[in-house]
Structure 1
Amino acid sequence: MEHENALIKEKSPYLLQHAHDLVDWLPWGEEAFKMAKRDDKPIFLSIGYSTCHWCHVMARESFNDPIVAKLINETFVPVKVDREERPDIDNIYMNACQLLTGTGGWPLTIFLTPDGRPFFAGTYFPKETSQGMPGLKEIILKTGELWEKKPEDIDNAATEITMAIKRMNAPTQPHEIQERIIDVGFEELEKAFDHENGGFGSSQKFPLPNHLYFLLRYGLLKEKKALEMVELTLDKMRLGGIYDHIGYGFHRYTIDPKWRIPHFEKMLYDQALMAIAYLEAYQTLGKELYKETAEEIFEYVIREMRSPEGGFYSAEDAESEGEEGKFYLWTMEELREILDSHLLCEFFNAKKEGNIPDETGKPSGENILYMKNIPEKFAEEKGIDPTEFLKKLEEGRRKLFNYRSQRSPPNKDDKILTDWNGLMIAAFARGYRIIGDKRYLKASKDALGFIMEKLYKNGRLMHRYRDGESAIWGNLDDYAFLIWGILELYDATFDEEYIKLALELSEELNRHFKDEENGGFFFTADYSDSLLIRKKEASDSATPSGNSVHALNLLRLGSILEDETLTKISEDIIKSFAAKIKRIPIAYTLLLVGAHWHQKGGSSLVIAAKTKSCIPNKLKSTFIPYLTITLKLEDSDWSFAPETLRNKKVLNECTYYLCKDKTCHPPTQDPETIIDILTK
């Protein structure tokens, strides 16, 4: 009979992956900590997620090895955490790893005292010591000996590390943010920019859409060079192997600087954030390639990541059949047989010996498909009619897609997370507004309907839904990202009910997450589980921070409603992190977007009208930084809004009230006047 541990009762796909490990895992909770205290054992905390390649490797090597598993079970109380279910736990203990090792990542391996204080940390460990890397067996044996013979040393180390984590997360005194910091942020990004390949960094490459959002706005309002940085990055990403040219969507990152060799997992949040980046760039730069890329991302998400009930799944694995990338890689023989075209093989840069190395650095015989140039330019270089080549390319893509569909697909993490769904709701709503495809509006509305039906209980959001169960109190990101999605739906439909819902969720944040003393919002509510510390942060990672997103939400709501109270809370968020922004502006690029909006003043357009036809089409198609539009139809209810907004009346069929850069213009019935002022 197959071994089972306590994770068998969990809903998380990641935890269920480990329910048959030989390690006697417990889920995070009271039982584990009580057992550790009762048995006087440290806790072996392992944090990961279902699509994490090295999590799978460590499980195969160690957690299912009889000797290592026995050592863990005898020495520790072993606890497994899905970082996507419990980002609050992951955030704290990732800090411990970064403090102790200077780096972080997953799987995250932490040893804790029975009261939850960390005293050892690392990421992936091989089973045996090799090439200077300590093996897990050796680490466990040494820890067991130390726990037994020198417990005071462990206690002292745990106290010291805990104090360091608390210092690291101590609130800073709020103060005004310097106007110059926006320029410093750009200068830092320019220094870190790869001027040959786009993106940031010289080895691994991550999408980092927050940087692109900042650069687009900075480029439009101040320095055109910033737009060139965005354009090069989006072009290179779209052509590279980080993009799935056959089934669409972006992989998580690449292990090379040219965007060619991906780490193959696909995350929902990357699809949402990159779709928004390409849509904004399409509006700004007018490249059809950017519009097509957003459309392809949406096609992938609707096809692969949408549940029958309307919510969006979390991720697809990097592995299939135990091998990373197996689903996505091709031999030259396969390509020639399927495509029957040397030209398409050349276009996708396939080679007989393969175009990616194996673990030893030698040619692997396998190919990841990528482009060096857009199809039209490739056709011109070859003296081929571009239209004919595009037709041939699409035929070839379909053949490869159909062939690949017969392979064993990567595992799908089918839990539905409120925060990541909020991002996808925002992306689809933006896609509808810019492209006009009604499927996108339906996808956005259906997902919001799912969240409000399944994950909104008694005025509070829950974080995770799977297999009929909603669980775990919502965190700051859940509220902030969902409000972002709701505000995008307002911009797409001008239905004031979305504004009411955004305000309702925002009020819950104010009541239970706000740091009343220093400004900003804690990651967890005051009614959430008590952990080692209550974190409050604004630096961006793979996803933007909840504080930076909500600062922008409040700016939008304040501008839409002409409510200075909301604008002030947004300003307080930025002020509360001003000292940290000053130290490392590049870590807070989305918060810099909020600071830039405050400095510029933004533009707010109220349209008092009898019909929606009063909204100028040009304002739907043009990207204008820091513009909000409020549509006040005569028969709509704005009784919840401040008096200044309620008093704006229809003076004719359409009346436009515009304030721009802290200056308000006289009301007008001429939309061209408004467009001229906004697009100067």
Structure 2
Amino acid sequence: DVDRVYMTFVQATTGGGGWPMSVWLTPQLEPFVGGTYFPPEDRFGQPAFKRVLQRIAEAWKNDREKISSQGANIVDALREAAKEQTSAGRIDAAILESAYQQFARTFDAREGGFGSAPKFPRPVTLNFLTRFQARNPDSDSGQHALEMVLLTLRKMAAGGVHDHIGGGFHRYSVDAYWHVPHFEKMLYDQAQLASAYLDAFQIAGDTEFAAPARDILDYIRRDMTSPEGGFYSAEDADSPVPVAAVADCRGESTKIGTHRAPLQKNAEGAFYVWTKQEIDNALGEDAGLFSFHYGVEEKGNVPAGADPHGEFVGKNILIERHSIAETSKFRSTGVPPVGPTGVSPVEQDSVEQCLAQSRQKLFSIRNKRPRPHLDDKIIAAWNGLMISAFARGAQVLDDASHLETATRAAEFIRANLYDESRQILFRSYREGPGEVEGFADDYAFVIQGLLDLYEASFEIRWLKFALELQRQMDALFWDNENGGYFTVTGRDSNILLRMKEDNDSAEPAASSVAALNLARLVAIRNDAELLARAKETVNTFARQLAHFPSALPQMLVAFDFLEGAPQQIVIAGNLRDERTRELLEEVRKHFLPHAIMLLADGDDGQNFLAEKNEAICAMRPIDGRPSVYICENFACKAPVTNVGELRRMLTS
């Protein structure tokens, strides 16, 4: 909104951007000077902030009219540039290979992730690569795409960026090894990473990917959910350091011969890090096994290069240094293994149980520490992402508690962040709804969450709500001239430019998510108008995609869905019938990114679906047996009634 407009100005006029940002405006809010950091004194060719203020004041006093005119011209130029940036064009399926190649060139084949330190998760990249693999499962590029995803997820799950004690993931890793994180936890990261791990579990069938997903969802339900059901936004990186811990740190620093850091009230990661002495005191005879597995060292395990301020001297950030098999061998021999371990599954299960008990002990101890500050705002967009994660978790992990959590959050949004009479979403809630109306991403992410919730519950109310929000999003944000969705409505006169987000970064762009939402709604409703809008949304960003396809991986997910042959998988039966549930469970075991699931139970939901999809009228159980109809673009194969035949069809 406001930040995006003026950051665009700073980037255009200085060649760079970032925070802190300083911009000077005319009374009409038009920018005429801007920059990022200005030092307190002249330094390295940078003028001091005071000097900048003096020069601007003098210029404003002497050339006010010229500056005002200049500001207006700048806004006009930015407006034209924004139009050109998202001018419509066309792309073809070759763009998917181009994006894959860009990601492959930056992939870290040893440690996972893309690029060098600092490393961010960027789940939208993983989303694209899993869909790319599903399109080309037997090709070299498809197999390599999956390898990139699985290695990245494995390395992150083992790394210090993963909170092994309390669950969830920290914001990013300052090093290339996922070891030393910036300890902030953001809701949008948890939501998207949970979904990425669930995708990997469906594809690979390995519980090592299910475990981090459960871990995230448990953390969010326990620590980040309001009593009313909405999800909080974030936990800070810093937290108060207990006096005893500070004294320990100073003692360790003295013994190790390092500089004694000053006492401080707050420190990065204070809630999460451990000394070797703390581990030994807490775990007793199990401390050695735990320390071997999680890389705990007497002098701390944080490399000096990743700790420039000496905050982690003598501290350990837990990271899985060894596999369960290696740790099992270490327990039996007392020696770090070299080569194959030869340990039995029973031995490995015993070690896993021991480590789990140790983590629980440390969790209880850690909960007595001062916690990081909780940002208890409830933001509509991020709640939409988290509803998706819980809805997907309910399906993939077959856990009804996740469906209950997703449902409560959706009900919270409808009751507290939605004006029924005006059909308007609000951005956030804290002790009551905020005054700021929702942005495009609020609508797009909530719609996505509702579509996932419908597929998890088959409650038609969520599909109806999604359609209602989609109509309103189109009315408020759609660019009738050039296509795509603006980020703001244009009703706030304080925002000079309506711009479109053209980058899928930590969060996907609203237009990227909206394009896939529209495509999914088309697969449900067979609506030509929605199909045209979905395609136009993608084509709006053709210029950006042609030059730098990896900038918009989530947009390419939508394009891939539209280019393929979307499937409708219709379950005909009553959900109270165990045979229906068995068929449904089989479908949910498979990674089917080009499919949507519908329920034909003879009730109101089926009647609503039939309004736009006549084929669903006739779908019913066969000879009293629940059935599954698999359709492509509404052309259906003969129904199946047994799990084995269904499995064959889904994997063929």
TM-score relative to the length of structure 1: 0.81
Tell me what 1:549 maps to.
513
Q: Deviation per CA, 1:540-594, whole angstroms, max 9, x where unpaired?
A: 1210111111111111111122333322211111111111111110001011011
- Residue identity opposite 1:462 in structure 2: F
> CA offset at residue 173 of structure 1?
3.4
Within 5 Å, which residues of 2 pair with 1:129-528?
A: 136-148=49-61, 151=64, 155=68, 158=71, 161-171=74-84, 172-222=86-136, 223-321=142-240, 322-340=266-284, 341-356=287-302, 357=304, 358-359=307-308, 364-380=313-329, 383=332, 385-457=347-419, 458=421, 459-528=423-492
> CA offset at residue 269 of structure 1?
0.5
CA distance in 2, matches of 1:181, 1:251: 32
Q: Structure 1 539/636 Cα, relative in aligned 2: closer, same or farther at 3 Å?
A: same
Q: Which of 584, 587, 602 is equivalent to 1:634?
A: 602
CA distance in 2, matches of 1:409, 1:128: 37
CA distance in 1, matches of 2:621, 2:157: 48
Q: Structure 1 286/128 Cα, relative in aligned 2: closer, same or farther at 3 Å?
A: farther
Tell me what 1:659 maps to.
631
Q: Deviation per CA, 1:51-105, whole angstroms, max 9, x where unpaired?
A: xxxxxxxxxxxxxxxxxxxxxxxxxxxxxxxxxxxxx122222323333454444
Structure with the greater relative contact order (CA < 8 A, sep ≥ 6): 1 or 2? 2
How many correspondences in the alignment? 592
Q: Which of 116, 137, 159 is equivalent to 2:29?
A: 116
Q: Structure 1 195/400 Cα, relative in aligned 2: closer, same or farther at 3 Å?
A: same
Q: Structure 1 96/257 Cα, relative in aligned 2: closer, same or farther at 3 Å?
A: farther
Q: Which moved more, 1:159-168 or 1:627-636?
A: 159-168
CA RMSD of aligned residues (A): 2.6
Q: Structure 1 166/382 Cα, relative in aligned 2: closer, same or farther at 3 Å?
A: farther
Q: Deviation per CA, 1:250-307, whole angstroms, max 9, x where unpaired?
A: 1111111111111111101100000000011011111212111111111111111111
CA distance in 2, matches of 1:292, 1:145: 62
CA distance in 2, matches of 1:361, 1:131: 26
CA distance in 2, matches of 1:423, 1:354: 36
> CA offset at residue 317 of structure 1?
0.8
Q: Structure 1 453/248 Cα, relative in aligned 2: closer, same or farther at 3 Å?
A: same
Q: Which moved more, 1:633-642 or 1:531-540?
A: 633-642
CA contact (8 A) 1:249 1:266 kept: yes
Q: Deviation per CA, 1:225-266, whole angstroms, max 9, x where unpaired?
A: 111000110011111111111111111111111111111111
- Residue identity opposite 2:630 in structure 1: L
- Residue identity opposite 2:618 in structure 1: K
- Residue identity opposite 2:205 in structure 1: G
> CA offset at residue 348 of structure 1?
2.2
Q: Structure 1 669/288 Cα, relative in aligned 2: closer, same or farther at 3 Å?
A: closer
CA contact (8 A) 1:559 1:567 kept: no
Q: Structure 1 122/289 Cα, relative in aligned 2: closer, same or farther at 3 Å?
A: farther
- Residue identity opposite 1:332 in structure 2: K
- Residue identity opposite 2:373 in structure 1: N
Tell me what 1:617 maps to.
585
Q: Which of 534, 540, 552 is equivalent to 1:576?
A: 540
Q: Deviation per CA, 1:387-411, whole angstroms, max 9, x where unpaired?
A: 3322332232223222222222111
CA distance in 1, matches of 2:559, 2:146: 19
Q: Note if 1:96 corresponds to 2:9.
A: yes
Q: Structure 1 190/168 Cα, relative in aligned 2: closer, same or farther at 3 Å?
A: farther
Q: Structure 1 369/480 Cα, relative in aligned 2: closer, same or farther at 3 Å?
A: same
Q: Structure 1 606/388 Cα, relative in aligned 2: closer, same or farther at 3 Å?
A: closer
Unaligned runs of 5+ in 1: 1-87
CA distance in 2, matches of 1:354, 1:142: 50
Unaligned runs of 5+ in 2: 137-141, 241-265, 334-346
CA contact (8 A) 1:419 1:482 kept: yes
Q: Structure 1 195/306 Cα, relative in aligned 2: closer, same or farther at 3 Å?
A: same
TM-score relative to the length of structure 2: 0.85
Describe the SS at the equivalent of 2:427: strand
- Residue identity opposite 1:378 in structure 2: T
- Residue identity opposite 2:598 in structure 1: T
> CA offset at residue 602 of structure 1?
2.1
CA distance in 2, matches of 1:102, 1:370: 39
Describe the SS at the equivalent of 1:301: helix
Q: Structure 1 353/509 Cα, relative in aligned 2: closer, same or farther at 3 Å?
A: same
Q: Which of 644, 647, 653 is equivalent to 2:614?
A: 644
Q: Which of 527, 530, 535 is equivalent to 1:566?
A: 530
Tell me what 1:606 maps to.
570
CA contact (8 A) 1:331 1:365 kept: yes
- Residue identity opposite 2:631 in structure 1: C
CA distance in 2, matches of 1:528, 1:595: 32
CA distance in 2, matches of 1:250, 1:586: 24
CA distance in 2, matches of 1:101, 1:350: 46
Q: Percent identity?
A: 37
Q: Structure 1 141/393 Cα, relative in aligned 2: closer, same or farther at 3 Å?
A: farther
> CA offset at residue 179 of structure 1?
1.8
Q: Which moved more, 1:228-237 or 1:161-170?
A: 161-170
CA contact (8 A) 1:608 1:648 kept: no
CA distance in 1, matches of 2:38, 2:291: 39
CA distance in 1, matches of 2:585, 2:104: 35
- Residue identity opposite 1:338 in structure 2: A
CA distance in 1, matches of 2:277, 2:43: 37
Q: Which moved more, 1:534-543 or 1:101-110?
A: 101-110
